[in-house]
Structure 1
Amino acid sequence: MKKKLIAPVVLSTALLAGSIPFSNVLAKQPEETATISLTNKWNEKMNVPIFVREKQLDKRNSSTASDALNYLEEKKSKVKIRNPKADLKVKKTNKDELGMTHVRFNQTKNGIPVEGAEVLVHYNEKNEIVAVNGTVNVDVDEQNFNTKPEVNSVVALASAKSSVDAPAQLQYDPTTELVVYPFEGESSLAYKVNVNFHGEEPGNWFVFVDAQSGKVIDKYNALMDADEIKTQTGTGTGVLGAHRLLHISQSKNPNTGTVFQLADYGHKNLGGIFTYDAPTGSLFTSNSASFKKDYDRAAVDAHYNSEKVYHYYLDEHGRNSLDDKGMAINSYVHYGTNYNNAFWDGQQMTYGDGDGSYMISLSAGLDVAAHEMTHGVTTNTANLQYRFQPGALNEAFSDIFGALIDDANWEIGEDIMGPGAKADGRESLRSLSDPSKYPVGAAYVPYGNGKGKYPAHMNEFYDLPRNLDNGGVHINSSIINHAAYTTAQEIGREKLGKIYYRALSVYLTPTSDFSAARKAIIQSAVDLYGAGSSEAAAAANGFNKVGILE
């Protein structure tokens, strides 16, 4: 029986490539271990969706977090939150280019955040509340829940590291946070531990350790898939032979003289754009302003493409880097040996060289860079959980913006395919215009409609378990990809980008599913172009065409 989208309560209005042996392209996650229970449970009071659209706008005195909380208290029966003032903690408030203010809350229990449960209140420029959306965990709200841990964070960290075979040397310092974790129909007090490491099997693992017993409840790999320094113009040759103009820097060293680096400090309020050699961890350098050695080619493209993606988000959406706060953009190339993948690890981009047959250096693809960097944007906006439908949305937004930024076509990865892949008929990784042109891996075929192709409609949805592609994040993403492509045929790429970026940055939350995405994207079109506009109709039609209905 095919998976159906269950309409939420509306109160008012990496490659998996069949015969091609790519192990994990564009951050396909390693399969989860069989030690995790796959028992299917369901609790209808967990992750209850909210979408309230006020028809008669409520005029407020201000658009502050305090006022938003007062509104939720007044409307608590409508939004199904029993005690908003006790259970919601403000996470962020921002004002957008339309003059709208958005207040984001995290649900808590006795002050402990409930993982993934967020509520947003949206004001227009007149301080009128126009909408509320997000998810709440009614079950946790109603329970007498023990929020006092029996084990400490040190024990939890050791358990988490052991569960993912983390090496002694980690990429970044691990983080540990006490949360209420809804999982498989039950909620537990847990430590959310983030462990990040590179190596032959890189990981950006989130491990949830029971705070009472110290046992691992759940885990998933969210690896998506001198002296004065002066910025100047340099040149380089890319992987495919393209001549690149680069922003680089030079440093004077009393012992070695002037050294040129792939380090760009020339953008206002940006920490810089830097490109490193993964084996050594060092910035790429040259004795001249020209980077034309064969070994430099992957770095040249990574550096050039990073700046292109940075400018797209800045120029089109007013976003200052991946976190919108000017974080440095770091890329590492020549990762691993014959590594057919690229990934965002939560803080940086990393590119393999490919095996030379099925893939060439992955940094050659502008859409690949855009895909990985968009994972960084998602991490810092909706922070969509990397599993099941939220994870498929995460992947889809990366593919969609990859195709918008590298706007030659609606394919992803066409510039990184090697001669072996092309000989097998694989001209790209995925297609937004025609998802079914490529097969999925054999392990996934039994969970679909039997045709074994990437899905373009909900009647082709792959109802995968968690231990396969994190529940289908790379496979089912193609349904959302195709919805976006269909919308773009009516309104063009630029408007599509504005609508989808607004949905990602303003409306979506960590547990948003396909149905929530439909509402968020249509609402974003209404915000930008008006109710009844052709843009709003096109946004709805894109989802209609792929079977994601009201």
Structure 2
Amino acid sequence: MDTVELERFRYHIATDRERRTLTQITNVAHGFTERAEPKTPESCARYLLSRMINKKGEEGLKESLHQDHPALTIRSVQHLGNAILVRFDQNFRGVPVFGAEATVELDKDCGLTSLQWDLGCVHPKSTIAPDLSDVAAIERLAKTLDADLEIKEIGPPQLQLFGGRHCAWHLVWHFFDVPALPYASDGSGQLQPHSGIPVSDFLMDAKNGDIIFSYGKAFSADLSHAQMVGRCEDDFSRRFTGSKIGPSYKLHDVARDLRTHDSQYSPIGRWAGQLVASPRADLGDSRRGAVSAHYNATRVTDFYRNHHLGDMLPRNLIGVINCCDSATPADREFRNAFWRDEKMWYGQVRSESGHLVSVARFLDLVAHEITHGVITVTSDLIKDGDGGALHESFADIFGVIIKNHYTFGINSDPKRWDWTIGEGFPVGGGCLRDLSDPGRLNHPNHTERRLKMPSEPERENHENGCIPSKALHAAVTAEASTISSEDWIAVIAKTMATLHRTATFADVPVQLKYAISTHLGESRRNLVGDLWDIIDDAYQSVGIYAFATPRVQPQSLLDRSS
């Protein structure tokens, strides 16, 4: 198939000092008042994107996009504080182009703030005709992966175009959420299990049936409002919101769209758990794991909503306690927690007294897993290579942020924060990761030390995620930083939400700088230049160098008057 790689473009108003680009793509103020269409975020974003592509896109891209009407379809519209993000996916003759997307960021008046795309220049004469039928592809995948994998466990695949990752383009069958481990990138076969809870996406060549790319996706009635109480795993009395359903009180918070279920130690793949219920609103100390899971998930969702990030949360959040997998020993200890199938799954560990204690007792781990869900709703980073490490890095970062938010309060000093994840979780004590000093746990702290572990992708992602996490820690705690922790939270959240699926380490400092420019606005534009330098220094200290971004001229930053 005669194609080229994805075309990459980035624009932010902070680097358009004289508004030349903005003036070129808009005929009047904000670009839409002269048109008959209603001024909605969707219509404004589509108009601005079309004008920018016509002005700045390569001829091959324009020709490719003109084959479909529309070739760019809206995936989502999300509100983050005063910003509006409109995301587009690319199609070619009705076939989605894997990883091809565009994001338009608007202000509250639908004016353009930033615009970015990674789009494919597909030759207009390319044919979209698979040699392998979807039924044949399902049979081929089942046979290739595992003799015990039944065809009925594989959902129908979607025909897509795959390319732009330093390889030729392919027409592929994309299989979603297959209960199997991904394949090693060197083609040596399936990876070895790490968490024991596999679920992966597979892209199969629609011509010859070869698996050309795969990636894991498991991270590691009549209702009435009811106030409930119970003791948690840390022996504190916790108050939380549930529902009264008939004669029972259940852990279903309708307002927060949050539920807590009990797996009753059944294997993950065969889960048939039910809502945790009680005949009384006071659970006492009988359901400590459920109380911890529900209470901590409430705190995490409240944090996101109180920071104007509620649109980033997954809908219908479900936490599942008392989880096991097929390898769980008879004593039911399952030392794990992860995000999978749009649910939070919590295992349990033996305490010194011999009792099973839910992993949901750790607020930072609950925040980590819910943040994986936030990422899937927003940037939807691919869990492979840099994308997988960034998935874990941002989950760790927000685990730290949320834990310290409830420990020290709003606008606390990040230099006082505890930057560890999972303190007290490992056997023998200690923590899982230290974002301030990964090296003390023998985790990589520089790109020169990044791990290559094709047989253990989850460990590779978690440990390599320490590299960008250390950089972000250095930026947030820098002595020269002149903004508050609340400012940093908003900037980091926006960066996490605006990255594209195929983002690399080098994309993060760029998006951080753009987010800072927008967040500080006119009143604090004099701070932007120094903060850009702090970000560059922090990321370069771990070997991450941003893609070229023009140097900011603070005196003209975000000045819309010209």
Stretches of 4+ moved more than 6 A in 1? none
Residue identity opposite 2:541 in structure 1: K
Shift of the alpha carbon at 1:542? 3.0
**Equivalent residues of 2:78, 2:312 under 8 A apart:** no
Residue by residue over 1:167-212, the C-alpha shift from the partner in whole angstroms, topping out at 9 and shown as x without a partner, is 55989x8352211122662321111111355999322210112222
2:380 match? 383
Task: Provide the secondary structure at the position in 2 that maps to 1:290.
Answer: coil
1:302 match? 293
> Equivalences for 1:407-446 in 2 at 5 Å?
407=404, 408=407, 409-417=418-426, 420-422=427-429, 427-438=430-441
**Equivalent residues of 1:274, 1:328 under 8 A apart:** no
**Equivalent residues of 1:364, 1:416 under 8 A apart:** no
1:220 match? 215
Residue identity opposite 2:135 in structure 1: V
Q: Distance in 1 between matches of 2:358 and 2:319?
A: 13
Q: Distance in 2 between matches of 1:184 and 1:91?
A: 27
1:51 match? 10
Q: Distance in 2 between matches of 1:264 and 1:96?
A: 23
1:135 aligns with 2:126: no
Q: 2:198 aligns with which of 196, 200, 203?
A: 203
Q: Distance in 2 between matches of 1:413 and 1:67?
A: 44
Task: Provide the secondary structure at the position in 2 that maps to 1:149.
Answer: coil
1:495 match? 487
Q: Distance in 2 between matches of 1:246 and 1:377?
A: 22
Report the CA distance shift for 1:369/1:339 in structure 2 as closer, same or farther (over 3 A): same
1:119 aligns with 2:102: yes
Task: Provide the secondary structure at the position in 2 that maps to 1:351.
Answer: strand
> Equivalences for 1:384-403 in 2 at 5 Å?
384-403=381-400
Task: Provide the secondary structure at the position in 1 that maps to 2:428.
Answer: helix
Q: Distance in 2 between matches of 1:526 and 1:509?
A: 19
Report the CA distance shift for 1:44/1:405 in structure 2 as closer, same or farther (over 3 A): farther
> Equivalences for 1:61-80 in 2 at 5 Å?
61-62=31-32, 63-77=44-58
Report the CA distance shift for 1:485/1:149 in structure 2 as closer, same or farther (over 3 A): same
1:456 aligns with 2:414: no
Shift of the alpha carbon at 1:134? 3.4
TM-score with structure 2 length normalisation? 0.75
**Equivalent residues of 1:122, 1:131 under 8 A apart:** yes
Report the CA distance shift for 1:48/1:518 in structure 2 as closer, same or farther (over 3 A): farther
Task: Provide the secondary structure at the position in 1 that maps to 2:243.
Answer: strand
Report the CA distance shift for 1:249/1:108 in structure 2 as closer, same or farther (over 3 A): closer
Q: Distance in 2 between matches of 1:260 and 1:480?
A: 44
Task: Provide the secondary structure at the position in 2 that maps to 1:421.
Answer: coil
Report the CA distance shift for 1:149/1:510 in structure 2 as closer, same or farther (over 3 A): same
Report the CA distance shift for 1:144/1:225 in structure 2 as closer, same or farther (over 3 A): farther
1:259 match? 248
Q: Distance in 2 between matches of 1:232 and 1:125?
A: 36
Q: Distance in 2 between matches of 1:322 and 1:157?
A: 33
**Equivalent residues of 1:146, 1:189 under 8 A apart:** no
Shift of the alpha carbon at 1:544? 3.3
Report the CA distance shift for 1:311/1:329 in structure 2 as closer, same or farther (over 3 A): same
1:521 match? 512
Residue by residue over 1:462-513, the C-alpha shift from the partner in whole angstroms, topping out at 9 and shown as x without a partner, is 3x264442693212110111122122213443222211111122x2110010
1:482 aligns with 2:459: no
1:157 aligns with 2:160: no
1:351 aligns with 2:346: yes
Q: Distance in 1 between matches of 2:168 and 2:468?
A: 29
**Equivalent residues of 2:346, 2:359 under 8 A apart:** yes
Q: Distance in 2 between matches of 1:275 and 1:170?
A: 26
Q: 1:145 aligns with which of 126, 130, 152?
A: 126
Q: Distance in 1 between matches of 2:347 and 2:398?
A: 21
Residue identity opposite 2:485 in structure 1: R
Give the percent of matched residue pairs that are identical in Structure 1 and Structure 2.
21
Residue by residue over 1:303-359, the C-alpha shift from the partner in whole angstroms, topping out at 9 and shown as x without a partner, is 111111111111113314623xxx211111111132221111141111111355799
Report the CA distance shift for 1:246/1:354 in structure 2 as closer, same or farther (over 3 A): same
> Equivalences for 1:184-333 in 2 at 5 Å?
185-195=167-177, 197=179, 201-225=196-220, 228-252=222-246, 258-265=247-254, 267=255, 270-278=256-264, 279=266, 281-293=273-285, 296-320=287-311, 322-323=313-314, 327-333=315-321
Q: Distance in 1 between matches of 2:359 and 2:50?
A: 47
Report the CA distance shift for 1:524/1:410 in structure 2 as closer, same or farther (over 3 A): same
- CA-based RMSD of the aligned residues comes to 3.3
Residue identity opposite 1:186 in structure 2: A
Size of the aligned set, in residue pairs, is: 470
Shift of the alpha carbon at 1:300? 1.2
Residue identity opposite 1:210 in structure 2: D
Report the CA distance shift for 1:413/1:100 in structure 2 as closer, same or farther (over 3 A): closer
TM-score with structure 1 length normalisation? 0.77
Shift of the alpha carbon at 1:162? 4.7
> Which structure has more RCO (C-alpha within 8 Å, separation ≥ 6)?
1
Q: Distance in 1 between matches of 2:65 and 2:542?
A: 36
Report the CA distance shift for 1:335/1:162 in structure 2 as closer, same or farther (over 3 A): farther
**Equivalent residues of 1:122, 1:130 under 8 A apart:** yes
Shift of the alpha carbon at 1:276? 2.9
Q: Distance in 1 between matches of 2:488 and 2:393?
A: 14
Task: Provide the secondary structure at the position in 2 that maps to 1:335.
Answer: coil
Shift of the alpha carbon at 1:143? 8.1
Report the CA distance shift for 1:81/1:103 in structure 2 as closer, same or farther (over 3 A): farther
> Equivalences for 1:527-542 in 2 at 5 Å?
527-530=518-521, 531-533=525-527, 535-542=531-538
Unaligned runs of 5+ in 2: 33-43, 181-192, 267-271, 408-417, 547-562
- Which moves more between the two structures, 108-117 or 528-537? 528-537
1:374 aligns with 2:371: yes
Q: Distance in 2 between matches of 1:129 and 1:79?
A: 25
